[in-house]
Structure 1
Amino acid sequence: MRVKYLGTAAAEGWPGLFCACQSCKEARKRGGKNIRTRSSALINDGLMVDFPPDTYYHIINFGLDLSQLKHLVITHSHQDHFYTDDLELRRSVFAHLEEGNIMNIYGNRAVVSIMNEILQTIPALNEYLSIHYVPPFETFEAGDIKVTPLLALHARSEDCYIYIFEDGDGKRMLYGNDTGIFPEETWEYIKGLYFNLVSLDCTVGPGKDGNNHMGLPDNIEVKKRLFELGCADEATKFVITHFSHNGGLLHDELVELAKPYGFEVAYDGFEVVV
């Protein structure tokens, strides 16, 4: 399994769009890995997780051709993960596609409701987009990837998801963005499932949250419990992502802080293979 992190920031990006805090000023000054766009990932080149407002920048920056993307998995309906204005461009005359070139979108009831309203308003999109409600804890197939939605601890107005992704070689990833410490239903489901890769929310950086997002102290707690449940061992790769400037630490400082605990710090363009 190959995972490419296209964006690694929280909703406002880093530097924040209108922000004048010291962390954003320093990110502008240093550049490089300190410039973070809104979070999204590409798995095995055929499945994308989330569709942020920075997707157009991602295709330019990383040389992607989304005309052939068939599977888009959405974690929840917040606009930094589900930017529908750009999805509306997957139709004539904005995009020239072959007949039958449909992109499947998978998500919770909120995502499906939003997308269905768009498809009713713009009927031409039905030729190019297909929306699927995926219930929590029910596995489905998206191409050659088995996908299982799990309940996250995030916005209480909808069932936000984190996901299990498993490829044809049996490599398994736990993708845990935009969540606090997992709900008990999720812990119960994953008990005994081994993960080759675990990707965790670290929005608040060195701080602690656990209720809507996580920081490194929460990541350490989650990692410990994954070990206890037989979900991970020393061979499992742990990655942290989805950072906010409010956490204060730039990339190098995050790397220094996370390294003793066995976490790699993702950046825009970071790739991991398991």
Structure 2
Amino acid sequence: MATTDSKALFSVPIGSAGSVVCSQPLPKVYFLVFTSPPDNRLTPEFCKAMVTALDIVEYMLPKGVVVTTSGIPKFYSNGLDLESAINTPGFWKDSLYTLWRRLLTYPMPLVALINGHAFAGGLMTAMMHDYRIMNPHKGYLCLNEVEFGAPLRPPMASIFRDKLPRPDTFRTILLEAKRFNALEALKEGVIDGLGGPEETIKFIAEMGLTAKAESGVYGKLKEEMWRQTVRLLEQGGAVEEEDASSRINAAALYDEAALKRVKEWQSHSRSLSKL
């Protein structure tokens, strides 16, 4: 059985310490193996390197299937580098959302081979793929934003509404920060199969994925299929700022009305206690 040990076609650096390496275990099957120590955080450098690698495959190689996976056994991706995200001007729209839109509308089938943990933004990145295969022996999928106090931005929530088969699964992922192992994730429809490189190649063959991009409309079909999330990624910052502003104003008005009701209740309670 073919594996990802085939000869590298090209490599794209991730900063000074990492890389995205493309190999071709079978005709029209491309593995993009990213390694950005220690845990594949979604930095601007990581996002740019991944987009560049996807561009090279699209414009320089025959159409086929792209598999993304990690060269770090413990992690597929541990999510955003929050410090980098906060301190990098334009990070959301120019780096992260650019990568996510590229993945979501890529004109070839994309498979995320989740070899280890995929937390927060790492899980979101996997959800931007068409299919997900997960290591059945180790690793968890988790949105732990509720644990460290980070709200979801609109595209982040939208991709789970688009792709999860049931809203109660989204509730469990988001509000309970449940850590799904591979079997649980498969049962809930978060992933599409179990295994490693060999099983992923078998999945590609069984699904006939290498021929799907030949007609030239694969990416356009995905743009329409996921149009709400695509729109949010494209409009990015402007939509989020407007949405955040309206939410803040609505919350302030509610707080004002709520405090008024509490004070009225307190006043009424004191009056009753004097009777």
Provide TM-score, normalisation by structure 1: 0.27
Higher-Rg structure is: 2
Q: Taking CA–CA contacts closer than 8 Å with sequence separation of 6 or more, which of the two structures ends up with the larger relative contact order?
A: 1
The structure that is strand-richer by fraction is: 1
The structure that is helix-richer by fraction is: 2
